[in-house]
Chains A and B, each alone.
Chain A
Amino acid sequence: MSVVASPALAVEGLVKAYGANTVLSGVNLTVAPGEVRGLIGPNGAGKTTLLRLIVGLVKPDAGTVVTNAQPVAGIIEEPTFYPYLSARVNLELLDLLDRGAGATRIDAALESVGLAARADDRVGGFSSGMRQRLGIAAALIRRPRLLLLDEPTSALDPEGVAATVALVRRLADEDGVATLIASHQIDMLETLVDSTSRLADGRIVDQH
């Protein structure tokens, strides 16, 4: 008798339309525990919509999303925060929405993305790259088992990209975190992912 581990994420027959515009038309996708899967495709292919469907911000017209790995955390589009509050307070507020489970991890998360020195600065003064790093920190304090990243390195400098790649790889290898990462940065993905899915015309057209 063989034992097959449940996938961390299983998407089946997912359909989503906004009015007459069908964005996804039957998407199937799985991500195994510890796997880093890249999601590529042209602009408007439906990558962000797929991530929004997975986290429940949008309801599907048809199909199912099963997240066996919990909790789920991630960055959907450009990370956004309350600009009038500090980085640390923003994370504390997010952690309250997780019932305070990650309060002790906030400093470590800020440290791991290189924002410890700016923790008490207002986010309104942060660059895009700093907000992106803060977004990763916000995901980390949940101690996720499934990580969803939407263009997580688009605003980062080369050092930031390398640090993020190393961080995601370490989470997958050491903690078994499953990751679905949507990006246009093919070079970055090639150094990071275990597998890739290509999304076009609302369907996964290539998977390897």
Chain B
Amino acid sequence: MISTDLRYALRGELYKLSSQTVARLLTVATVLGPLLFTLLIRVGNATPGDTPLGTWVHSSGFAPPLVLLAFTASFGFPVSAALLAGDIFAAEDRHDTWKNVLTRAVDRRAVFAAKFLAASLYAIGLLALGAVSALASGVLIVGSQPVIGLSGQLIGAAPAFGLVLAAWALCIPPLLAFVALGVFFSVATRNGIAGVFGPIVLALLMQLLQRIGNAGLGHQLLLLASFDSWHGIFTTPLQGLPLLAILVSLLWTVVPLAGAWWLFSRREFGGAGSSGGSAGWRGLTVMVSSVLAVTAVMVALCYAGSDPITPRKLEAELRPIFNNLTIYQQHELGRTILAGTKLNDSSVCARRGYAQNGQGDDWVCTIDVLTPQADTPTPNFEPVDYDVSIKVNGCFSADGPPSFIGNQTFKTPSGKRVYNPLFEIYGCFNPL
């Protein structure tokens, strides 16, 4: 009977959720936000170069939805999940309606599952709405030109269309995990404010933790890192299905849900501490202690193992990206370079600071770049220094000297002004 019970309970939960002002405001923001974002990018001259595909927002309509995705993933998704799920159980405590809900025909299992599913479905619906709105805004306002991937490769309009949607879809597993965290805090604290702030505080802490420690497996176990798994489908060779990110998301979903169910199934609805001021303090205490416990585990994970971002790794990753972008630049200039041509000889990367490995903005990579010489038959390689900033997720930006690579934009033979792909190189690789 669980399926019938669940169906009825889910209908009720979805109705309650969609009747709430916060859910309606989220829906409006999800539809209009991408449109406004793309319009502002189009009107302004800003280029978010420190974001994946940010340098291409004026060149291809497929870039703005991914820039937006990168921004949304770090804060927007956790906040929307927290707003939808953090109050879904606590609201029954606030309105004192558990005695209505739990004395009807459907049992606690169905009520629990319906609440989690309702918040999850609403969150996924918002994500889908955001993806469609962002993609439509990008294509309609900027255009459906090919886009440059995170390995510097050219991606045609048709595959880019599918990849953008796939990138948003890959954020569903970690989004559901944040919903599960919201459910846990909602059940454990019985307080809507603590239920909403619990997942948000955890997301902020994860952002902070992404700036410390090494880039090993520990960082990949931070839930926020799973939102970056779409980078893998914009690199070449294709990194395949991000199984680790999905497994991490699953872990972050199952553990809070199991904890929430353990508490909910044993809860008595009546008697001391079930409501009133004591519930507020209880909620705050539970939220703070849970966050502290999870943070302690995360900090330990961030320092576990050795750092996989080494000079050798960066050198190996930077060279083909530079090669791809140079071919694209020459193509834009009307010159033809045969595919597979080796345009740089070697690269040497090192950090200026104390550390030798890991994330940071003090990397310098020297690339021996092939420069055409009309009067000599032998190839001439010139060393070019790039200032590289690399993050824990394996994404880096590299700024070259304008004296060698030219200005931010240049004119094509047809007179069209385009972005210089070598002005600021942005790429991503799997740090593991």
Report yes or no: A57 in contact with B12, Cβ–Cβ below 8 A. Answer: no
In the complex, the chain B residue whose C-beta lies closest to that of A54 is B103
Report yes or no: B270 in contact with A97, Cβ–Cβ below 8 A. Answer: no
Collect the chain B residues with CB atoms within 8 Å of residue A83's CB.
Answer: 95
| CB proximity to A under 8 Å, residues B7-33 | 8-9, 11-12, 15-16, 19-20
Q: A80-B95, A80-B96 are in contact. Are A57 and B105 (CB under 8 A)?
A: no
Interface stretch, picked from A33-41, A69-77, A171-179, is A69-77
| CB proximity to A under 8 Å, residues B251-281 | 268-272
Asked whether any CB of chain A lies closer than 8 Å to the CB of B98, the reply is yes
Report yes or no: B269 in contact with A52, Cβ–Cβ below 8 A. Answer: yes
Asked whether any CB of chain A lies closer than 8 Å to the CB of B416, the reply is no
Collect the chain A residues with CB atoms within 8 Å of residue B105's CB.
Answer: 71, 97-99, 101
Collect the chain B residues with CB atoms within 8 Å of residue A101's CB.
Answer: 105
Asked whether any CB of chain B lies closer than 8 Å to the CB of A205, the reply is no
In the complex, the chain B residue whose C-beta lies closest to that of A84 is B19
Bound-state Cα–Cα, A78 to B275, Å: 14
State the Cβ distance, B103 to closest chain A Cβ, in Å: 5
Indicate with 1 or 0, residue by residue over A141-160, a CB within 8 angstroms of chain B CB atoms: 01000000000000000000
Collect the chain A residues with CB atoms within 8 Å of residue B40's CB.
Answer: none
Bound-state Cα–Cα, A71 to B15, Å: 25
Collect the chain B residues with CB atoms within 8 Å of residue A58's CB.
Answer: 268-271
Q: A72-B103, A94-B104, A99-B4 are in contact. Are A82 and B97 (CB under 8 A)?
A: yes
**Partner among A57, A93, A138 whose Cβ is within 8 Å of the Cβ of B98:** A57
Report yes or no: B102 in contact with A57, Cβ–Cβ below 8 A. Answer: yes
Asked whether any CB of chain B lies closer than 8 Å to the CB of A64, the reply is no
| CB proximity to B under 8 Å, residues A36-62 | 48-49, 52, 55-59
Report yes or no: B16 in contact with A18, Cβ–Cβ below 8 A. Answer: no
Report yes or no: A138 in contact with B20, Cβ–Cβ below 8 A. Answer: no
Asked whether any CB of chain B lies closer than 8 Å to the CB of A163, the reply is no
Asked whether any CB of chain A lies closer than 8 Å to the CB of B100, the reply is yes
| CB proximity to A under 8 Å, residues B89-134 | 95-106, 111
Report yes or no: B19 in contact with A96, Cβ–Cβ below 8 A. Answer: no
State the Cβ distance, B22 to closest chain A Cβ, in Å: 11
Report yes or no: B268 in contact with A57, Cβ–Cβ below 8 A. Answer: yes
Collect the chain B residues with CB atoms within 8 Å of residue A59's CB.
Answer: 268
Asked whether any CB of chain B lies closer than 8 Å to the CB of A125, the reply is no
Collect the chain B residues with CB atoms within 8 Å of residue A98's CB.
Answer: 104-106
Asked whether any CB of chain B lies closer than 8 Å to the CB of A81, the reply is yes
Collect the chain B residues with CB atoms within 8 Å of residue A57's CB.
Answer: 98-99, 102-103, 268-270
Say which size band chain B's interface belongs to.
20 to 34
Report yes or no: B100 in contact with A94, Cβ–Cβ below 8 A. Answer: yes
Report yes or no: A81 in contact with B95, Cβ–Cβ below 8 A. Answer: yes
Indicate with 1 or 0, residue by residue over A4-46, a CB within 8 angstroms of chain B CB atoms: 0000000000000011010100000000000000000000000
Collect the chain B residues with CB atoms within 8 Å of residue A56's CB.
Answer: 102-103
Most buried by A among B11, B104, B272: B104
State the Cβ distance, B388 to closest chain A Cβ, in Å: 53
Most buried by B among A49, A73, A82, A84: A82
Bound-state Cα–Cα, A74 to B99, Å: 10
Collect the chain B residues with CB atoms within 8 Å of residue A161's CB.
Answer: none
Asked whether any CB of chain A lies closer than 8 Å to the CB of B399, the reply is no
In the complex, the chain A residue whose C-beta lies closest to that of B1 is A99
State the Cβ distance, A47 to closest chain B Cβ, in Å: 12
Report yes or no: B8 in contact with A99, Cβ–Cβ below 8 A. Answer: yes
Bound-state Cα–Cα, A52 to B97, Å: 13
State the Cβ distance, A171 to closest chain B Cβ, in Å: 18
Bound-state Cα–Cα, A111 to B96, Å: 25
Report yes or no: B97 in contact with A97, Cβ–Cβ below 8 A. Answer: no
Bound-state Cα–Cα, A85 to B16, Å: 9
| CB proximity to B under 8 Å, residues A92-144 | 93-94, 96-101, 138, 142
Report yes or no: A81 in contact with B100, Cβ–Cβ below 8 A. Answer: yes
Q: A49-B270, A71-B105, A96-B12 are in contact. Are A76 and B99 (CB under 8 A)?
A: yes
Asked whether any CB of chain A lies closer than 8 Å to the CB of B361, the reply is no
Collect the chain A residues with CB atoms within 8 Å of residue B95's CB.
Answer: 80-83
State the Cβ distance, A89 to closest chain B Cβ, in Å: 8
Report yes or no: B102 in contact with A99, Cβ–Cβ below 8 A. Answer: no
Asked whether any CB of chain A lies closer than 8 Å to the CB of B5, the reply is yes
Bound-state Cα–Cα, A143 to B312, Å: 75
Bound-state Cα–Cα, A71 to B103, Å: 10
Bound-state Cα–Cα, A74 to B97, Å: 13
Bound-state Cα–Cα, A189 to B272, Å: 29
In the complex, the chain B residue whose C-beta lies closest to that of A17 is B271
Collect the chain A residues with CB atoms within 8 Å of residue B4's CB.
Answer: 99
Indicate with 1 or 0, residue by residue over B237-256, a CB within 8 angstroms of chain A CB atoms: 00000000000000000000
Most buried by B among A56, A77, A99: A99
B-binding residues in A (CB < 8 A): 18-19, 21, 23, 48-49, 52, 55-59, 71-74, 76-78, 80-85, 89, 93-94, 96-101, 138, 142
Inter-chain pairs besides A49-B271, A138-B100, 13 sampled, C-beta below 8 Å: A19-B272, A52-B99, A52-B270, A55-B103, A57-B98, A58-B270, A81-B95, A81-B100, A82-B16, A83-B95, A89-B19, A99-B4, A142-B104
A-binding residues in B (CB < 8 A): 4-5, 8-9, 11-12, 15-16, 19-20, 95-106, 111, 268-272
Task: State the 3 A-B residue pairs at the shortest beta-carbon distance, nearest first.
Answer: A97-B104, A57-B269, A96-B12
Question: What are 16 of the A-B contact pairs (CB < 8 Å)?
Answer: A18-B272, A21-B272, A49-B270, A52-B99, A57-B102, A58-B269, A58-B270, A73-B103, A77-B99, A80-B95, A85-B19, A94-B100, A96-B8, A97-B104, A97-B111, A99-B4
